[in-house]
Amino acid sequence: MRRLTVLLAFAGGFFAVGALLRRTTGRGRERVDLYYADGSMKTLADGSVDAARLLGLAREAIHAARA
């Protein structure tokens, strides 16, 4: 029983570190960066309505390219 607890704790720690690394390195995140003629840039972070719409279209483009 103790061995199982240690094993589960180890596995939990492993996934927690993995999730933290993913978050800090930005891998797996979704966002849209828009660049305008005047040099300005706007980031639409995942979670906003606009980002969700554009990310849906981006996924469609990726699927069209890989089909």
Partner 1 sequence: MDGTQAIADLTEISSQIESVVLLDGKGAVAGSTFADEAAATRFAEASKALLEAAEALREGGEPLTQLEAETPEGSVFVLREGDRLIAATTVPDPTVGLVFYDLKSALRAAEDAKPKRKPRPRAPKKATKAAKDDA
Residues that bind partner 1 (CB under 8 A): 26-38, 40, 42, 50, 53-55, 57-62, 64-67
Question: CA-CA distance, 57 to 64, in Å (whole number)?
Answer: 10
46 Cβ neighbours under 8 A, 6+ residues apart: 29, 30, 31, 52, 55
Minimal distance, residue 56 CB to partner 1, in Å: 9
Q: How far is the CB of 20 from partner 1 (least distance, A)?
A: 17
By C-beta, is 15 or 35 nearer to partner 1? 35
CB of 14 to partner 1, least distance (A): 20
Scanning the structure block, which residue is given the tokens 């180890």? Answer: 10
Residue closer to partner 1, measured from CB, 10 or 35: 35
**CB-side exposure of 19: number of CA atoms within 13 Å?**
6
